[in-house]
Amino acid sequence: MASYLVLIPPGDNDPEKIRFMPDQFAWLGFLFGPFWLLANRAFVAGFITLALSIAFGVAGFSKACRSVPVLHRLRSTC
């Protein structure tokens, strides 16, 4: 059975303004989090998660380059 969110504007009981939205999981949001946030106009959260993803990726890559000699030989940028 599907569930829905019922959105009613505060102080307004006009039935034309009531919105029903399906309550479901967003797979694209799970797989491409920062980009999905930016596409859905959640700019602050999107930029924060994008910056954190890049920072953790760079930190993890540089740590992997120091600990794995094969990566150090393959990439001169480590």
Confidence band for 6, pLDDT divided at 50, 70 and 90: very high
Total number of domains constituting the chain: 1
Residue-number span of the structural domain to which 16 is assigned:
4-74
Residue with tokens 């967003």: 26
Segment 29-38, tens digit of pLDDT: 999 999 999 9
Residue with tokens 């120091």: 66
CA–CA separation, 37 vs 49, rounded Å? 9
Segment 28-73, tens digit of pLDDT: 999 999 999 999 999 999 999 999 999 888 887 766 666 666 555 6
User: How many residues belong to the chain?
Assistant: 78
